[in-house]
A and B are shown apart, each in its own frame.
Chain A
Amino acid sequence: MSLHTLTVCQLRDKIRTGEVSSREATQSLLDRIATVDGKVKAYNWLNDDDALAQADAAKKDGALAGVPVAIKDVLNVEGQPCTCASKILQGYIAPYDATAVRKLREAGAILVGRTNMDEFAMGSSTENSSWGTTRNPWDLTRIPGGSSGGSAAAVAADEAFAALGSDTGGSIRQPAALCGCVGLKPTYGRVSRYGLVAFASSLDQIGPFTKDVRDAALLLGVISGHDPMDSTSVPRAVPDYVAALERGVKGLRIGLPKEYFIPGMDREVEAAVRTAIRQWESLGAEVVEISLPHTDYAVAVYYLIATAEASANLARFDGVRYGLRVKGDDVIDTYGKTRGAGFGSEVKRRIILGTYALSAGYYDAYYLRAQKVRTLIRRDFEKAFAKCDVIVTPTTPEVAFKAGEKSGDPLKMYLSDIFTISVNLAGICGVSVPCGFAHKLPVGLQIIGKAFDEETVLRTAHAYEQATAWHKERPVL
């Protein structure tokens, strides 16, 4: 067995016992990347020498001792580029570590490279990258999902033992589903956002991509916790997520929202999800129907709030202090030329949309109303969780689509996040786990939990994973 196919826990245990060294594992991974990444194109940046040097210096204890982890190109890693897949950040080298990255380092992880994404995390296919499109390892003519498509594809193709991504409206769960790996979006405030280049500050959250649920629990434990550098991170103790996995699902109440099993959903996708639900029932869980009545408004609310926040968050990219600068006649002209050349069309579209939603005379009708509906969506979940412990839905309405299929139609693209967006609006947590195949492509199952109840979400996912073998399937490359 090649080292690069191991899970994080397996590899870490081998490194701890001295059976393999971090250098051997890192080298095995780099070899794998060299072999397949020409096809998958998961990475934007790699530095073999640096990765091996980190491996040689890695400590032997720590939760991730010597294990290489890939980082989405939206998180600052000191000394490495951080481009957010945008030309506007070409040449920018991060001068500091994001808190989640620092925590990985402290746990002994090797920061092996930077994974591709939609520019500034805006997109659902990784086609909006300035550095080329990442491919789905299961079918190279298809997209890996997005925006964290590079992280998902890397883990699915055994090009990463694990990866970090960010999830603003589904950017971890949707690509995890389409690539057939585990992707976890923690509760808002669980993981510090310090060092994550902001798309929509009230929705963004960092989370792991892994090959199984145990690894997701392990990584979540490492990156979670209050951070004085992020006022929105919550001062709550971090539980032992790995230990919580073993409690089983007997008596667990699984809620199925009727609004999520919609007409037009891919039949094979729905069948895979229904089969999974029966699996839980056979393990002793109870299924209850619930309602999330404001689901229909989620996409509209999301695209007002996210773009409004993004319009301000992306204002700092002006060519004055770092990144691209295209000189104009005066400073205003320089702003226009720099941003015109630096941002891709989807980013521009969202900045314009957000600017409009916040403008005098429109604020009340758009931004303010969206915030009110957001509150209603949050209440939907609060009411639903009075009846159930977790909510299960398909992660996406369909499997991975062909590259180019939706890139000309933004609205169609936005709808691929229809099942994941509400979780961000409500600030709660969710995980996507593989639950079979439709049209020979992976299908993802979304398990949604209450705020700060990642333990139950992961336990539910783990019980399912123990009873099935979908997570062991690997694409042939």
Chain B
Amino acid sequence: MEYEAVIGLEVHVQLKTHSKMFCGCATAFGAEPNTLVCPVCLGYPGVLPVMNAEAVRKTILSGLMLGCEIARFSKWDRKNYFYPDMPKNYQISQYDLPLCKGGRVGKFGITRIHLEEDVAKSFHFAETSGVDFNRAGTPLMEIVSEPDMRSPEDAFAYLTALKEVLIGGGVSDCDMEKGQLRCDANVSVRPVGEKKFGEKVEIKNMNSISGVRRALAYEIQRQIAAVKRGETIVQETRRWDDDTSVTSVMRTKEHAHDYRYFPEPDLMPVEVSAAWLAEIRRAVPELPEAKRRRFVAHYGLPEYDAEVLVADASVAAYYEQAAAGSKNPKAISNWVMTELLAKFAENTIAPAQLAELVAAIDAGQISGKQGKEVFAEMFATGKNAAVIIQEKGLAQLSDAGALEGLVDQALAANPKSVADFKAGNAAAINFLKGQVIKLSKGKANPQLAGEILARKLQG
């Protein structure tokens, strides 16, 4: 008999906000333990939570980007369980009225998105354990998918696309190494053609998107093999070990928590006004897929270029600004991809400056090879291409003897301008200078050309 897997994912995403979900403490990764804390996020006696509206806004924005229905009325609930990383031994979360419902990531459905507070981080030493509460209270968005995935590759595609949307919307940096994106999976198997779901197993502790793929591949094989041996799959939670590449039982159904959810009495319900929703809707950025299509159509870029540029929203924005001032968007794309991308974070070259460099090359003022030299200088100093070309005397004809010949040619070819100048029209010299530069294919040093012209005209 052939078997297929049914997979649903629960993704936790730390939101990119300045302060925590219910207090004013900063959210930052890597600070000294227990330095970003206050009585509220430490769960001291008598403290109360105050909702961070920016976190709600970013959750709604995520919902809009993913095509969810946004709840105009939503509320907070307490999820009760004891754990040392839980300052209050309950987590403020959303139970039956989440902020967002429905939605899609590609061809996979989303069930709901809700907002909650992150827990602290436990550390285990030889004799004791410690808790760092810096992370406690960070806004955490939980995105629950429909059980629409059928393979580890589906899950991989879902996570990659989801990450792209969230990063593009500026909602989260989704860095899994920093714990900004965490994923649990529910997996079951069933005979192909069977409509009913099999008993599901939850897998935790997958620390990378490829880890999710490996864990699912292992777990699906494990379940199918077990079923084929005539065993029954039981509902349980299993832990993925990336080093040994196996999953093992963490807790069985009998030990499942009863979270005793009830409405959080310390917070008012969240009411999303039409005006606020409209304002957030206006802030929804163009989604990556649409942007890729537009880059191909509007700038005439190959699919590959569009893919690379759009992968990072800030790179894409930079590209668009540079391309806007250029007649050669493909050349801009080449420069961004080959020269800028690897060191984009340190970039000092303004988009317009890059466009100017491309124009200088296209005008034949400097060669492509010289362009790279100019680019390196621009990157190091932030100076404009024109300044560097002049300073370095690049491509410029500064040899007086050679210039003299060109000046004579220009004077001979434009007697009317010469006559104009002599009749008192000083501006005519500019036209003649232009002619000299043109004759030099743009390489003449304009200042020197001007001096020689003046001398000859006045002499």
B46:A195 contact, CB within 8 angstroms: yes
- Residues in A whose Cβ lies below 8 Å from that of B89: 312, 315-316, 318
B258:A92 contact, CB within 8 angstroms: no
Interface residues of B in 80-117 (CB under 8 A from A): 80, 82, 84, 87-90
* Partner-A contacts on B (CB < 8 A): 39, 42-51, 78, 80, 82, 84, 87-90, 129, 131, 258, 260-262, 265-268
A335:B45 contact, CB within 8 angstroms: no
Interface residues of A in 278-315 (CB under 8 A from B): 308-309, 311-312, 315
From B42, B45, B262, B266, contact of A197 by CB (8 A): B45
Given contacts A315-B80, A316-B87, contact A194 B46 (CB under 8 A): yes
Given contacts A312-B90, A316-B88, A363-B262, contact A231 B47 (CB under 8 A): no
Interface residues of A in 314-365 (CB under 8 A from B): 315-318, 320-322, 331-332, 335, 355, 358-360, 363
Cα distance, A136 to B47, chains bound together (Å): 32
**A-B CB contact pairs (8 Å), 17 listed:** A82-B46, A92-B45, A96-B39, A96-B44, A194-B47, A197-B46, A200-B265, A228-B50, A231-B49, A232-B267, A311-B80, A312-B89, A312-B90, A315-B90, A358-B80, A359-B260, A360-B260
B265:A196 contact, CB within 8 angstroms: no
Most buried by B among A95, A322, A358: A358
Q: Could you tell me the distance in whole angstroms from the C-beta of A198 to the nearest C-beta in chain B?
A: 7
Q: Could you tell me the distance in whole angstroms from the C-beta of A164 to the nearest C-beta in chain B?
A: 13
The 4 closest A-B pairs by CB, nearest first: A315-B89, A201-B265, A358-B260, A202-B265
B48:A321 contact, CB within 8 angstroms: no
- Residues in A whose Cβ lies below 8 Å from that of B265: 200-202, 232, 309
Q: Could you tell me the distance in whole angstroms from the C-beta of B325 to the nearest C-beta in chain A?
A: 47
Q: Could you tell me the distance in whole angstroms from the C-beta of B70 to the nearest C-beta in chain A?
A: 21
A316:B45 contact, CB within 8 angstroms: yes
Q: Could you tell me the distance in whole angstroms from the C-beta of A41 to the nearest C-beta in chain B?
A: 23
Cα distance, A76 to B50, chains bound together (Å): 18
- Residues in B whose Cβ lies below 8 Å from that of A201: 265-266
A254 within 8 A of partner (CB): no
- Residues in B whose Cβ lies below 8 Å from that of A228: 50
Name the residue on B nearest A323 (C-beta): B45
A232:B47 contact, CB within 8 angstroms: no
From A94, A229, A315, contact of B82 by CB (8 A): A315
A231:B267 contact, CB within 8 angstroms: yes
Interface residues of A in 153-185 (CB under 8 A from B): none
Cα distance, A317 to B50, chains bound together (Å): 21
Contact with B along A109-147 (1 / 0, CB 8 A): 000000000000000000000000000000000000000
B48:A95 contact, CB within 8 angstroms: no
From A196, A231, A360, contact of B51 by CB (8 A): A231
A98:B46 contact, CB within 8 angstroms: yes
- Residues in A whose Cβ lies below 8 Å from that of B262: 308-309, 312, 358, 363, 367
A194:B44 contact, CB within 8 angstroms: no
Most buried by B among A84, A89, A96: A96
Q: Could you tell me the distance in whole angstroms from the C-beta of B273 to the nearest C-beta in chain A?
A: 17
Name the residue on A nearest B23 (C-beta): A229
From B43, B258, B268, contact of A231 by CB (8 A): B268
Contact with B along A181-221 (1 / 0, CB 8 A): 00000000000011111101110000000000000000000
Name the residue on B nearest A228 (C-beta): B50
- Residues in A whose Cβ lies below 8 Å from that of B48: 193-194, 229-232
Cα distance, A95 to B47, chains bound together (Å): 11
Q: Could you tell me the distance in whole angstroms from the C-beta of A112 to the nearest C-beta in chain B?
A: 20
- Residues in A whose Cβ lies below 8 Å from that of B266: 198, 201, 231-232
Supplied contacts A197-B45, A231-B51, 14 more A-B pairs, CB within 8 Å? A76-B45, A96-B44, A196-B46, A201-B266, A231-B267, A309-B265, A315-B82, A315-B88, A316-B45, A322-B45, A331-B129, A358-B80, A358-B262, A367-B262
A316:B43 contact, CB within 8 angstroms: yes
